[in-house]
Homo-oligomer: A and B are copies of this chain.
Amino acid sequence: MIEIRHLRSLAAIADSRKISAAAERVHLTQSALSHQIRAIESHYGVTLFERSRQGVKFTQAGERLLALAKAVIAGVAEAERDIIRLKDDTRGELRIALECHTCFDWLMPVMDEFRRRWPEVEVDLVAGFHPNPIELLASGKADLVIGSRPSRRAGFHVAPLFRYEIVVVMAKEHRLRSSRRIDADDLRGETLITYPVPPQRIDVIREVLEPAGVKLQRRTAELTIAILQLVASRRGVAALPNWGVKSYVDHDYVLAKRIGKGGLMSELYAIANPADAARPYMAEFVEIVRQTCARELDGIALI
């Protein structure tokens, strides 16, 4: 008899196109998923998808079950929200502060979806640039910070979001235009264009340039689009999330290059006070971020 866990597996497979990747998402081994699928297939006497190296392709029967899965999963989630509402007082506010300003790109759809699910929660963005957004949590000016992992000593509740790659963007005519990858030394003499935050908060400085003893001139801008304008007009280079610059690269406005051998990776977390983290809608906000980003941003990995 089919169960919700099977439907969740199915949805995960549909999302990731690969059984082994889907297995991770539902916290199972590849073997377990394989067994699950086989069980469903033999139960109904149909095949759910054609397996191949580059992912699975759903059959008609698979699509039909997938449609059921999506409906059931959504229905269950909605019912669970309603039950929480019946049980607890779910009014509250969610003031969000961003450490990484590129995140505005994906925050809007996330907030939209969140408002739909928790209309009684007041969502707000904490405006302006802050040298250390985490302090906003401690001072009670924000309820949730999206940024890099704080030291665990600070006592905050930390939920992992995703890992992404930071790339160097440069003008199309830049002298390094034909390099496949960029190392710290390559950048000597360049101007680095960043958001107006302390150098220690900028990954490429902290992780790459400083260890190599390379110190660049800096120039700041508040908006991603402004940074890219400066880059395109050859006022310097910038280091930004790959998903933040993808559309500009695709349109050939600028070039993006990998940093170092394996690329410079960074991770985003949702950080909250432990008291607030227990609120029912908090975990769901994090889930919405993860799902939305996994769907809309290229080249990220949920963590």
A residues within 8 Å of B by Cβ? 1-5, 44-46, 60-61, 64-65, 67-68, 71-72, 75-76, 78-80, 82-84, 86-87
The list of the 8 closest CB pairs from A to B, nearest first, reads: A68-B79, A3-B3, A61-B83, A64-B82, A61-B86, A3-B4, A60-B86, A46-B87
Please report the C-alpha to C-alpha distance between residue A297 and residue B80 in the assembled complex, in whole angstroms: 34
Task: State A133–B86 Cα separation when bound (angstroms).
Answer: 55
Contact residue among B5, B44, B64, B86 (Cβ-Cβ distance under 8 Å from A3): B5
A33 CB to closest chain B CB (Å) equals: 16
Number of copies: 2
Residue of B nearest to A65 (CB): B79
CB distance from A71 to the nearest CB of B (A): 6
Distance of A76 from chain B, by nearest CB (Å): 6
13 A-B residue pairs with CB within 8 Å: A3-B4, A44-B80, A44-B83, A44-B87, A45-B87, A46-B86, A46-B87, A61-B83, A64-B83, A67-B79, A68-B75, A68-B76, A68-B79
Which secondary structure dominates where chain A touches chain B?
A: helix
The one of B46, B72, B82 in contact with A83, judged by C-beta atoms closer than 8 angstroms, is: B46
Measured CB to CB, the nearest residue on chain B to A59 is B86
Name the residue of chain B whose CB is nearest to the CB of A68: B79
Per a CB cutoff under 8 Å, which of B1, B61, B68, B86 touches A64? B86
* Nearest chain B residue, comparing its CB with the CB of A48: B83
Chain B, residue nearest A64 (CB) = B82
Partner of A61, one of B44, B75, B87: B87
Q: Within the complex, which residue of B45, B71, B84, B87 is in contact with A75, where a contact is CB–CB below 8 Å?
A: B71
Nearest-Cβ distance from residue A177 to partner chain B, whole angstroms: 52
Report the minimal beta-carbon distance from A47 to chain B, rounded to whole angstroms. Answer: 10
- The smallest C-beta distance from A90 to any residue of chain B, in angstroms, reads 13
CA distance A188 to B203 in the complex (A): 102
Which residue in chain B gives the minimum CB-CB distance to A80?
B44
